[in-house]
């Protein structure tokens, strides 16, 4: 039983939807970002179709608050911006980050968000890997009005990545997962929002935030 629980916790902690998939299930890898964006779902559409962690998705979006200072910085980062997100409803990282991005997006004039699954978005994930070399969900691309990539954000806020790296040698996989979820509960999306707004500001300065 312990081995089973550890395997489940490990998969959930990684939350990268990167269990090997047959090549035949990977579609639209060569499609342009414009095509992928056009075929994506709005957050409300994604939420209405969510089958896993649905209550958590709804709760996090409902409780999401974008601090005035961060919102002002985001609005000052000249756009318009489009967020193309690769996410799956069962991912513990997606559910704790994307609702906050959705809340930010709805408060930015001209900003749009579309979500695609990890099957369609596999090419994006593989081209924007985590520091330890995984394609992961969520992967967020910041696109400009011409659907040109201007930045990316992968899987987790930087502060949580640092925490996990520090704690990895001292905790079991189960403990790491529980610690991660507690971190998210305490943070309530604030570090995610800070990272994403910083990415927008870099893009507005002509830098690549990826």
Q: Model confidence over 26-76: pLDDT tens digits?
A: 334 335 999 999 999 999 999 999 999 999 999 999 999 999 999 999 999
The residue written with tokens 């990684």 in the block is: 14
Superfamily of domain 2-204: Glutaredoxin (3.40.30.10)
- Three-state SS across 106-154? HCCCCCEEEEECCCCCHHHHHHCCCCCCCCCCCEEEEECCCCCEEEEEE
pLDDT for the residue 11:
38
Residues 6+ apart with CB under 8 A from 27: 119, 120
The total number of residues written for the chain in this structure:
210
Q: What is the mean pLDDT of residues 13-34?
A: 47
Which band of pLDDT confidence, cut at 50, 70 and 90, is reported for residue 210? confident
Task: Find the helix or strand (DSSP H, E) in which 60 lies.
Answer: helix 54-63
pLDDT for the residue 99:
98
- Rg of the chain's alpha carbons, rounded to an integer? 16
Q: What are the pLDDT digits (tens) for 105-116?
A: 999 999 999 999
What's the whole-model pTM score? 0.86
pLDDT for the residue 15:
64
CB 120 within 8 A of CB 39: yes
117 DSSP 8-state letter = -
Residues 6+ apart with CB under 8 A from 208: 149, 150, 151, 202
pLDDT for the residue 2:
36
């Amino acid at each position: 039983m312990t081995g089973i629980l550890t395997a489940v916790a490990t998969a959930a902690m990684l939350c990268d939807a990167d269990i090997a998939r047959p090549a035949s299930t990977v579609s639209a890898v060569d499609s342009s970002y414009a095509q992928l964006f056009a075929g994506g779902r709005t957050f409300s559409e994604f939420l209405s179709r969510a089958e896993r962690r649905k209550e958590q998705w709804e709760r996090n979006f409902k409780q999401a608050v974008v601090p005035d200072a961060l919102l002002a910085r985001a609005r000052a980062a000249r756009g318009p911006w489009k967020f193309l997100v690769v996410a799956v409803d069962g991912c513990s990282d997606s559910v704790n980050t994307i609702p906050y991005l959705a809340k930010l997006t709805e408060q930015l004039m001209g900003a749009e968000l579309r979500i695609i699954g990890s099957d369609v978005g596999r090419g994006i994930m593989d081209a924007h890997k985590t520091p330890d070399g995984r394609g992961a969900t969520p992967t967020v691309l910041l696109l400009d009005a011409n659907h040109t990539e201007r930045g990316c954000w992968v899987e987790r806020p930087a502060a949580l990545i640092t925490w996990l790296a520090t704690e990895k040698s001292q905790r079991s996989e189960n403990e790491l997962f529980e610690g991660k979820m507690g971190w998210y509960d305490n943070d309530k999306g604030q570090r995610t929002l800070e990272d994403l707004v910083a990415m927008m500001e870099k893009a507005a300065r002509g830098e690549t935030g990826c």
